[in-house]
Structure 1
């Protein structure tokens, strides 16, 4: 003999009350779900990712005698975005710094960097190069570069699938040297007392 427990126990009056109570309690949930149907209510698209390309984040340039002329780095970038009906506008602050080496011959230091925008498939949509000149008369110098990119997007596309990538515009030899350097395993720290 199979026994089935009826979880809906109660008088017909109580059963009807439960249905009305469930309807009243479920009303806010139904209203919030109805709001989800409207694409403009509660939807906030994300900003595209902003990043410095690791293998293009630094450059060391040797002088004529093989000693170091200068080293330039991009320590960080910060970005924010603002949406409009036609797309998203990215504004970034990129920090660039440099220090001179024994083979540096003096004068302002010209550097070139790129800003590329990629889509969800990591295909490059645009790439621009910019120049910055640093005053390194004291042995080091830096700059904060303010950048703006506009990415045309339809209103239903989320910008989080796009990237704004920056780095130094390197020669093939400089890029290869950075890739070799960045692929080396880290040196373990020496324990104290040895």
Structure 2
């Protein structure tokens, strides 16, 4: 019991010293307010899936090269001064179609950052290739991506949005909206 009290007393003393040193190291200047939450990452529903046909092929189910859809997005962020560093894991799922000869799905997706006024301040197009194992119809991949964002003074970072979607051709877009109607 006496040893326990001695340990607790020593820990209390160390804690008090650490707090005292921390207090001494602080400037008398006013500290900047901590930044609020992270920007929100969202998948654009209308650009979350795609049926890809080879060029010149009919739109028959036997002419499907592959299908791809974006799954969920996980993300964490940290702040260094006024910069938000967002690390995202984006999950992609693919299905091999009957016309797929090269055992892979190759497509482009985009990531766009939108400010609180809904202006696109950054947009990237990224190519991704997901292989299919020869005897498997389905495949998937998790793509890790880092985004850096300068946050102006007085702006809440959680008001920014990061949108992710599949980049599609005009023809693929027309096919997608026909499937919606």
* TM-score of the aligned structures, taking structure 2 as reference length: 0.72
Q: Would the aligned equivalents of 1:49 and 1:163 in 2 still touch at CA under 8 Å?
A: yes
What residue number does 1:101 align with? 97
What residue number does 1:51 align with? 42
* Secondary structure, aligned partner of 1:122: coil
Q: Which runs of 5+ in 2 are unaligned?
A: 1-29
* Secondary structure, aligned partner of 1:177: helix
**1:77-123 residue CA offsets vs partner (Å, 9 max, x unmatched):** 11121122132111100001111122222332212111110011211
Select 2:176's aligned residue among 175, 178, 183: 178
In our comparison, the structure showing a higher alpha carbon Rg is 1
What residue number does 2:80 align with? 84
User: CA–CA distance in 2 between the matches of 1:48 and 1:180?
Assistant: 33
**1:26-77 residue CA offsets vs partner (Å, 9 max, x unmatched):** xxxxxxxxxxx9763xx55011110011111111013435322210010111
User: CA–CA distance in 2 between the matches of 1:155 and 1:178?
Assistant: 41
User: CA–CA distance in 1 between the matches of 2:106 and 2:168?
Assistant: 13
What residue number does 1:167 align with? 165
What residue number does 2:149 align with? 151
* TM-score of the aligned structures, taking structure 1 as reference length: 0.67
**1:112-145 residue CA offsets vs partner (Å, 9 max, x unmatched):** 1111100112111010111111111322211100
Q: Would the aligned equivalents of 1:55 and 1:175 in 2 still touch at CA under 8 Å?
A: no
Q: Would the aligned equivalents of 2:35 and 2:157 in 1 still touch at CA under 8 Å?
A: no
Q: Which runs of 5+ in 1 are unaligned?
A: 1-36, 185-194
User: CA–CA distance in 2 between the matches of 1:98 and 1:130?
Assistant: 17
User: CA–CA distance in 2 between the matches of 1:176 and 1:54?
Assistant: 15
| Aligned-pair Cα RMSD in Å | 2.0
Distance 1:81 1:179, change over 3 A: farther
**Equivalences for residues 9-158 of structure 1 within 5 A:** 40=33, 45-63=36-54, 64-65=57-58, 66=60, 67=62, 68-137=64-133, 138-158=136-156
